[in-house]
Amino acid sequence: MNNDANRLIVQEVAPRDGLQIEPVWVPTEDKIALVDGLSQAGFTRIEAGSFVSPKAIPALRDGDEVFRRIVRKDGVTYVALIPNLKGAERALLAGADELNMVMSASQTHNRANMRMSCEASLAGFSDIVALGRRPGVDVSLNATIATAFGCPFEGRVDEDRVLAIVDAYLRLGVDGITLADTTGMANPRQVARLVRRVLAVLPAAALTLHFHNTRGLGLVNVVAAYEVGARRFDAALGGLGGCPFAPGASGNICTEDLVNLCDETGIETGIDLPQLLALSRKLPALLGHEVPGQLAKAGRNCDLHPIPAALHAAA
Amino acid sequence: MNNDANRLIVQEVAPRDGLQIEPVWVPTEDKIALVDGLSQAGFTRIEAGSFVSPKAIPALRDGDEVFRRIVRKDGVTYVALIPNLKGAERALLAGADELNMVMSASQTHNRANMRMSCEASLAGFSDIVALGRRPGVDVSLNATIATAFGCPFEGRVDEDRVLAIVDAYLRLGVDGITLADTTGMANPRQVARLVRRVLAVLPAAALTLHFHNTRGLGLVNVVAAYEVGARRFDAALGGLGGCPFAPGASGNICTEDLVNLCDETGIETGIDLPQLLALSRKLPALLGHEVPGQLAKAGRNCDLHPIPAALHAAA
């Protein structure tokens, strides 16, 4: 493979998946500064906000303003999460480059998360795709399969069902598909098996993996997926996000921990790790709590420690 | 490979590597109860304490009493960390089944940690091996190479140097060797490369890998080492332990997170995960702080969550 084929693309999701569960209000200015900082750090894909009901997710009620006021950088795709046609219309007006629709593989989780059956979700996506393909509308369309590796209510999720949803998404005509391990239930063997099956029907450039670190396996699953050909991964600065069913457990895989893994193993991401660390280290003050990411606390391998003074004296 | 060859052996190190940096005094009774609980949970190897100077590590000054009063379970090897000949003599008197000696691959780290050069450490080990091989003494001998994957003061550690130390250890006549990533600097490609080289001169049954999760790569490195044939791994209940140079960062890889990874991927460990979780969930009260392990907070995959009540009502 050439370098481009080995490249790992990180889609930064902290502004959306990270901030959505934070109890504090992050001012619009700070959200814009975060997205702009991420653009400067070298990301090519940023999920910058969502267009859901402000009642459902008040933390992201300023999505329109964020999208309008961020500094667009050439080559960066700014993604908006949308729950329905109304959200899609708002996201298009605000200038989103890509719309991300979400449905769970598990009926129970979809009812809990989206308040409708999977069939109703798919019917709604059909309207959104029709909107996105209208003449004069220039937007990319991504569809996510949440709980693709397990459901916190139902447990195991049948892999054939996930493949059937991939097929349904492709028939709808989306440009990309995300397999999401919404509550961190995936393991590396399962990931390798399912990703292989999905890559048989979808090119790697159109597949995103979204892992949570709920049970400490987030980066293990990234490596497993990468080794069988996946190349695009969601991650959140500081490891923000999380699962309301596992308080205290980690959220999304941490972007700077992932980029460090790539840097150390010679996998190109195009992302500047020192810039990323500087952004991450602002999060505790912004959010009022420590964040799960490890690298911002530990530093990079090359950030060496001074030799203890006692040894100098003894030498 | 048959099942035995696939089995992953976890050496639990929380009673030693975990407790040694805790600022609170853990009463001897609680230490004994912890080791006894670990014996019951199915471990075959437990690093139960150390015999270092009580001034250097006051938290473990009751090593003698712990070793004497734990309930020995058949088939379990109770390991003691020892810094020198005096420690070895104390450990043998207390009934340790195995002595673990430690030297860093990096001279600077060895001076900081052991207050001597690597050459002086090796000379001391020679005396300890002579003691362990005396007629009538029945003890297994393990030697650890700390900072084998990187030094927080010197940075990169030459792999040839690590191989030379493995060779020196084998010439001393030890039974086992541990490669330790003392401050969490290893990456999976490096791990695969170095473990392959070491396994060319040492059987898998004699090699232990000791990873820290300082930069979030602990379990990634376990998988990388396992895939090239390593089978024995140190881990600490709750992910205890840590690096004084990275406050807030994780310590050892977390035993229950590792056992969950094995359970989910069909790798046998012989360890009972529910018992392990029960032990881990006592740690915050025992130590007065949260611990880094994820599984005790998130629960196993099969610990399903109740379906939200609103959905029942709607159904």
Rounded Cα–Cα distance for residues B199 and B201 (Å): 5
Write the DSSP string, A187-226: -HHHHHHHHHHHHTTS-GGGEEEEEB-TTS-HHHHHHHHH
Segment A218-238, tens digit of pLDDT: 999 999 999 999 999 999 999
**Is residue A223 less than 8 Å (CB to CB) from chain B?**
yes
**Is residue A262 less than 8 Å (CB to CB) from chain B?**
no
Residues in chain A: 315
Rounded Cα–Cα distance for residues B39 and B46 (Å): 8
**Is residue A293 less than 8 Å (CB to CB) from chain B?**
yes
Rounded Cα–Cα distance for residues B103 and B116 (Å): 10
CA distance A274 to chain B (A): 15
Mean pLDDT of A281-299: 95
**Is residue A135 less than 8 Å (CB to CB) from chain B?**
no
Answer whether residue B17 shows pLDDT above 90: yes
Answer whether residue B315 shows pLDDT above 60: no
**Residue A102 forms beta bridges with which residues?**
A144
CA distance A60 to chain B (A): 24
Considering chain A, what is the average pLDDT of its residues? Answer: 94
Segment B109-122, tens digit of pLDDT: 999 989 999 999 99
CA atoms within 13 A on the CB side of B16: 23
Q: pLDDT > 90: what percent of chain B? A: 91
Q: pLDDT > 70: what percent of chain A? A: 95
Partners of residue A147 in chain B, C-beta under 8 Å: none
- In this prediction, residue B307 carries a pLDDT of 86
List, by residue number, the catalytic residues of B.
Answer: 243
pLDDT band of B166, cuts 50, 70, 90? very high
CA distance A64 to chain B (A): 30
**Is residue B309 less than 8 Å (CB to CB) from chain A?**
no
- C-beta of residue B195 within 8 angstroms of C-beta of residue B225: yes
pLDDT band of B250, cuts 50, 70, 90? confident
Considering chain B, what is the average pLDDT of its residues? Answer: 94
Rounded Cα–Cα distance for residues B304 and A245 (Å): 10
Say yes or no for a CB contact (<8 Å) between B294 and A216.
Answer: yes
Tell me A304's DSSP state: P
Cβ neighbours, 10 Å, residue B152: 27
Segment B134-162, tens digit of pLDDT: 999 999 999 999 999 999 999 999 999 99
Segment B34-89, tens digit of pLDDT: 999 999 999 999 999 999 999 989 999 999 999 999 999 999 999 999 999 999 99
Query: Is ipTM > 0.85 here?
Result: yes
- List the one residue out of B150, B217, B298 whose CA is nearest residue A183: B298
- In this prediction, residue B312 carries a pLDDT of 63
The tokens for B113 are: 């940690």
Answer whether residue A169 shows pLDDT above 50: yes
Q: Which domain holds residue B7?
A: 3-314
- In this prediction, residue A315 carries a pLDDT of 43
Rounded Cα–Cα distance for residues A237 and A22 (Å): 14
Answer whether residue B199 shows pLDDT above 80: yes
Select from B154, B246, B265 the Cβ nearest to the Cβ of A188: B265
Say yes or no for a CB contact (<8 Å) between B223 and A219.
Answer: no
Say yes or no for a CB contact (<8 Å) between A216 and B154.
Answer: no
Give me the residue label for tokens 């393991």: A187
- In this prediction, residue A1 carries a pLDDT of 46
pLDDT band of A65, cuts 50, 70, 90? very high
Mean pLDDT of A156-168: 98
Answer whether residue B225 shows pLDDT above 60: yes
- In this prediction, residue B1 carries a pLDDT of 46
Select from B155, B213, B297 the Cβ nearest to the Cβ of A302: B155
β-strand B176-181 against B207-211: which pairing, if any?
parallel
**Is residue A244 less than 8 Å (CB to CB) from chain B?**
no
- In this prediction, residue A306 carries a pLDDT of 87
Partners of residue B212 in chain A, C-beta under 8 Å: none
Mean pLDDT of B184-191: 97
Mean pLDDT of A67-84: 97
Say yes or no for a CB contact (<8 Å) between A220 and B261.
Answer: yes
Segment A132-154, tens digit of pLDDT: 999 999 999 999 999 999 999 99
Residues in chain B: 315
Q: At what angle do helices B273-280 and B255-265 cross, to 10 degrees?
A: 160
- List the one residue out of B276, B86, B291, B100 whose CA is nearest residue B180: B100
- C-beta of residue A18 within 8 angstroms of C-beta of residue A239: no
What's B54's domain CATH number? 3.20.20.70
Partners of residue B284 in chain A, C-beta under 8 Å: none
- List the one residue out of A191, A189, A238 whose CA is nearest residue A210: A191
- In this prediction, residue A171 carries a pLDDT of 98
Q: Mention every residue, 6+ apart, whose C-beta is less than 8 A from residue A75.
A: A44
- In this prediction, residue A250 carries a pLDDT of 81
Q: What's the total number of domains in chain B?
A: 1
Q: Tell me the count of A-B CB pairs closer than 8 A.
A: 137
Which of 185-204 (B) contact A at CB < 8 A?
185, 187-190
Which of 61-120 (A) contact B at CB < 8 A?
108, 111-112
- In this prediction, residue A242 carries a pLDDT of 80
Rounded Cα–Cα distance for residues A107 and B18 (Å): 43
**Is residue B123 less than 8 Å (CB to CB) from chain A?**
no
Q: Which amino acid would we find at residue A223?
A: V
pLDDT band of A314, cuts 50, 70, 90? very low
Q: Give the torsion sign (CA, B46, B48, B51, B53).
A: positive
Tell me A16's DSSP state: I
Answer whether residue B314 shows pLDDT above 50: no
- In this prediction, residue A163 carries a pLDDT of 98
Write the DSSP string, chain B: --HHHH--EEEE-IIIIIGGG-SSPPPHHHHHHHHHHHHHHT-SEEEEEE-S-TTT-GGGTTHHHHHHHS---TT-EEEEEESSHHHHHHHHHHT-SEEEEEEESSHHHHHHHHSS-HHHHHHHHHHHHHHHTSTT---EEEEEEETTT-BTTTB---HHHHHHHHHHHHHHT-SEEEEEETTS---HHHHHHHHHHHHTTS-GGGEEEEEB-TTS-HHHHHHHHHHTT--EEEEBGGG----TTSTTS--BPBHHHHHHHHHHHT------HHHHHHHHTTHHHHHTS--S-SHHHH--TTSPPPPPHHHHHH-
- C-beta of residue A85 within 8 angstroms of C-beta of residue A48: no
- In this prediction, residue B283 carries a pLDDT of 97
**Is residue A264 less than 8 Å (CB to CB) from chain B?**
yes
The tokens for B137 are: 């003494």
Cβ neighbours, 10 Å, residue B2: 6
The tokens for A18 are: 């990270």
